[in-house]
Amino acid sequence: MSEPLRVALAGLGTVGGGVIRLLDANRELIARRAGREIEIVAVSARDRGKDRGVDLSRFVWVDDTTALAKQPGADVVVELIGGSDGPALTLARSTLGAGRSFVTANKAMIAHHGLELAQAAEGAGVALKFEAAVAGGIPVIKGLREGAAANEIARVYGILNGTCNFILSKMESEGRDFAEVLAEAQALGFAESDPSFDIDGVDAAHKLSILAAVAFGTQPAFDDVAISGIRRLLGADIAEAAALGYRVRLLGLAEAGTDGLFQRVHPHLVPIDHPLAHVTGSLNAVVAEGNFVGRLLFQGAGAGDGPTASAVVADLIDIARGEFGPPFAMPVVSLT
């Protein structure tokens, strides 16, 4: 077997911890699939003393997270910190600038800076991968970038935010109002203490802009997404929709039109016989319509340590196999 792929890991929270656990649990299988071992060599987060439920003593600890870009012996940096700018972006720029591959789950950063980072990766001949940034564990970036690569895509849409779907499903099944269900979702850990990115549709818009770029061969354009969230929905709206044969879902939708690409996130009335009407709780689902393959439906867990780590490690396996290729499915120069 060849040399291991050596990983420097930034961020040891929900997803970072999940990546360590997954690599520990499936080490041999992953090595057989990847053709070599995937080995974490260095880690970094804010608080060195925090108990994370995993043994970190076998890794080099690095206090300055952004220094991981140049960690001796590392082939690839995995960023699981979050935030569109700040240390995540500094780390991304310096890793790619140092000619190393970069994997992230950070939708905000890819939505805002994906084009610049893709340019840097292509220039350096290294990989930039972000499967976990859209719909967590669902391999939808791979599905579009690889499996459906031969198709012209007419439309891609889906449930891209598990928090909103959890709230809407509860409002629907229990006939309750938004504020009450949000409070419960926060208590259960399904919603952040500041839930605005989720409930105002910003998180779904980050993901949609990435998905649209991959599906349509366009530059990611977060500012072009028309966004409206679920804050103002009443239990009565949902009951009325149900009486008419619909369910309410927060959808992100990107569609090719004669005037270019149309991208929007807002609550939609989904007919009861459509598969998305039956996606409940915190699940995500994405539909893509290709001109030869027809309608594809991807469904699964859009968040959580295990599912998100599954997507991050899939990207690492690609890199271990030498599968690089353009981050947005075609070279940056070809994106319109």
Residue of 128, 96, 157 whose CA lies nearest to 328? 128
Q: Tell me how crowded residue 141 is: count the other CB atoms within 10 A of its CB.
A: 26
Query: Which segment (1-9, 75-83, 287-295, 319-327) binds ligand NAP by CB under 6 A?
Result: 75-83
Does 220 bind ligand NAP (CB under 6 A)? Our answer is no
Residues 307-326 that bind ligand NAP (CB under 6 A): 308
Does 217 bind ligand NAP (CB under 6 A)? Our answer is no
The residue type found at 328 is: F
Does 13 bind ligand NAP (CB under 6 A)? Our answer is yes
Strand, coil or helix: 145:
helix
One-character DSSP codes across 200-255: TTHHHHHHHHHHHHHHHT----GGG-EE--STT--HHHHHHHHHTTEEEEEEEEEE
Distance in angstroms (rounded) separating the CA atoms of residues 6 and 62: 15
The residue type found at 13 is: G
Please report how close the Cβ of residue 300 comes to ligand NAP at its closest, in angstroms: 12
Among all residues, which ones are annotated catalytic?
207
Strand, coil or helix: 307:
helix
Residues 230-269 that bind ligand NAP (CB under 6 A): none
Please report how close the Cβ of residue 262 comes to ligand NAP at its closest, in angstroms: 26
Residue from 94, 106, 169, 209 binding ligand NAP (CB under 6 A): 106
Q: Which is nearer to ligand NAP, 15 or 296 (CB)?
A: 15
Q: Who contacts 233 (Cβ-Cβ below 8 Å, separation ≥6)? A: 168, 171, 178, 248, 267
Q: Which is nearer to ligand NAP, 16 or 327 (CB)?
A: 16
Residue from 81, 153, 238, 287 binding ligand NAP (CB under 6 A): 81
Does 132 bind ligand NAP (CB under 6 A)? Our answer is yes
Does 105 bind ligand NAP (CB under 6 A)? Our answer is yes
Query: Which segment (12-20, 167-175, 176-184, 240-248) binds ligand NAP by CB under 6 A?
Result: 12-20
Residue nearest to ligand NAP (CB): 13
Q: Who contacts 89 (Cβ-Cβ below 8 Å, separation ≥6)? A: 83, 109, 113
Binding site for ligand NAP (CB under 6 A): 11-16, 45-47, 50, 65, 80-82, 87, 105-107, 132, 136, 303-304, 308
